[in-house]
Structures are given as structure tokens and as C-alpha cells.
Amino acid sequence: MTTANLETAAPDPIRFVGQTDGHLVLIDQTKLPVELIHIECRDVETIWEAIKMLRVRGAPAIGIAAAYGVVVGMQAAADKPMAEFESRFDEVVEYLAGSRPTAVNLFWALDRLKATFAAAKESGKTTAEIHDALLAEARFIHEDDRQVCRAIGRHGAELIEPGNGILTHCNAGGLATADYGTALAVMFTCQDQGKEIHVFVDETRPLLQGSRLTAWELVQRKIPATLICDNMAAQVMKEGRINAVITGADRIAANGDSANKIGTYGVALLAKAHGIPFYIAAPISTFDLSLPTGEGIPIEQRDPVEIIHGMGKQTAPSEVQVYNPAFDVTPAGLIAGIITEKGVISPVTPENVAKVVAG
């Protein structure tokens, strides 16, 4: 475990050090904004725990971490015969797939590694060569996400006028991706283009990804930002301070219904009531075209302790019943556009989703 200077460190949330016998280094996001701690993950159990406990979080970052998790998990079978190597691969993939259910990027990344494994085996590669191929694919997914996020930023920035106030919910920033974010990529690009904006940040109960992570990233980049409690969004909209809402997504169905952090649906309803465009910013890897609508998106239920002991302090009686869904689904009808690396899907219809995602 290493710590770094909070003032000077740039977020590099995921780093793989070495070759197939290497290890994964993650920022422990549960410690931000107080401490910037890097954790070294040298076995797949540590990576599973890091995903489960939100030390690494955000849909694209979960996918990247899981891809490297497979590489690390295969170290235990590195010198085994093919049959054992293959059975270990299936075990590791299934294990990582059980860490969190909603972000489809996790399953997308694991599917990519499955395809890599199958192709490498089919072409007669040795177990060591297959392991190399898995690492190369994980690195590709990681590097590609940097380009994808920048393209999302460029497309999204075209929707923003100088002087706009933008509300965001949860954290869809550099920490949630390879390094540049999805929703926050739009704001970072506006800054790079010299377009002045002001970001309003929902604190995002119960785990405070907005106040702990998004506010931290915006402060680091010196983008003007104001933190609000989740229940203040309606008032801030009514005061005319919000011109657009942009959030990320964890899974988008074929009709554009989008799952994102709990509370996003409410923000979208508020935006509709105030005539403010609500945008989702997400990569193509966040679409799940196997689901016709958002009805089928699995919603993660999390431990009641996150609400009863909010941030470690008891805030409710231990015996009270708690409902703690981590995500909700915003219907496509409330979404003005989905900003992807291939352009903005608008209006959000099944036809337009299919055209952009498959195109």
C-alpha cells in the first residue's frame, strides 16, 4: 500500500505493472478524498474484493480491472497442462463475473477475454502464449478506453454553451474509467477548449461518489464546481442555474433505457419538469442490446450497513429495515441524448441506438 500527495497526484486509477507475472495497482477510491492510497493486487481475490467494495468502481474501470484480474488469476495455473489451464480460466472468469451485477462493461470485458482465449487456443498457442494474449487484450481494453473517453468528451462538448451550468450525479470521471471519464470528459473537454462552465455536483447518497470523487476531480482540475446535497437539485434547477444534466451509465438497453447510480432517475424527472436536457454519456461497451428495455437490467442490492452506518458513523437504528438498490433505470423518454464515442444518439429510439451501436 502506498500513499501519494493529494495536491499533486493526477488520477491514474488503474495500472498494470510487469508482464503476465505482474500485478495490478489501483487507487483505493474508498479512501478519497482524504487519502490517495494505491493498493497492489497480486491475486484475483484482492481484485474481486476491490470491485465488490468499490475500491475500483465506475462501469469502464470495473471492466478494465476485471480484465487484468483474469491475467492475475491465471498466474496460479501458468505452468499447468492445457486442460487445467482452461478449467482455471473458466473458474476465474466466473468468479470475477460474480463481483457486481449491473455494470455490463464487466461482462463485456470478460467476454472479450473469453474470445481471446478461444482464438488463441484454436490457433494452437501454448498456455504461456495464451496468457500473453490475455494480457495484450486487457492492455488493449485499457488503452482503448482512453481514446473512447476523449471522443465522448469531444462529442459532448458540442452540446454545451459557454457559461452553462451542468449538473452531474455520482462519479463518471477519470476515476471511473482509464483516465478521462465519460460525463466528466465533457466538462474536461470544455475546459481544454476554454469554454467556461460551472458544474453542480450531487453528493450521491449513500456512498457519496459525487462529493468524495467528482468534487475531488473537479477541484484537482480547477473546474468551477459547487457541491449540493441530492435533495437540493430541484431548487437549483428552479433557480435557473442548470442548463444541462450529464451523468454516466452502467448498462443501456436496446431502447435506450439507462441504468446508473441510484438517484439518476429522480434527477432526470426533475430535469424534465424544468425543461432542462438530460444526457447520458457512455461508451458503446455500456450498451446491452440483448435487453430490449431497462426492465431486464439486474439491479445490485447492497449491504444495509452502507445506510445505517453511513461512512462509518451510525445514522439509523441497527434494527431498522433498509432497502439499498445501488442503481435505478432512467427511461429513454427522459433522455435528450446519449453521448457515445461514435456520436450523440438523439432522439433516443431503438432505431437510433441500433444505428450508432452497430454502425
As measured in angstroms, the least distance from the Cβ of 184 to ligand MRU is: 8
The H or E element spanning position 5 is none
What's the half-sphere exposure (Cβ side, CA atoms, 13 Å) at 38? 20
Look at residues 26, 62, 61 and name the one whose alpha carbon lies nearest to residue 42: 26
Q: Measured at CB, which residue is nearest to ligand MRU?
A: 248
User: According to the binding rule CB under 6 A, does residue 57 interact with ligand MRU?
Assistant: yes
Q: Which of 13, 248, 263, 294 binds ligand MRU (CB under 6 A)?
A: 248
- The region that residue 56 occupies, defined by phi over 0 for left and psi between -120 and 50 for alpha, beta otherwise, is beta
| Nearer of residues 165 and 263 to ligand MRU, judged by Cβ | 263
Q: Provide φ and ψ at 273, rounded to 5°.
A: -60, -25
Site string for ligand MRU, 136-175 (x = CB under 6 A): ----------------------------------x-x---
C-alpha cell at 334: 427522459
User: According to the binding rule CB under 6 A, does residue 260 interact with ligand MRU?
Assistant: yes
As measured in angstroms, the least distance from the Cβ of 264 to ligand MRU is: 7
| Nearer of residues 116 and 177 to ligand MRU, judged by Cβ | 177
| Nearer of residues 134 and 249 to ligand MRU, judged by Cβ | 249
CA R_g for the chain: 20
Q: Which of 75, 99, 182, 243 binds ligand MRU (CB under 6 A)?
A: 182
Alpha helices in the chain (DSSP H): 44-52, 59-73, 82-97, 104-122, 127-157, 183-192, 209, 215-220, 233-238, 264-273, 305-308, 350-358
Cβ-contact 145, 75 below 8 angstroms: no
Site string for ligand MRU, 204-243 (x = CB under 6 A): -----x----------------------------------
User: According to the binding rule CB under 6 A, does residue 58 interact with ligand MRU?
Assistant: yes
Chain residues binding ligand MRU by CB under 6 A are 54, 57-60, 103, 170, 172, 176-177, 182, 209, 247-250, 260-261, 326
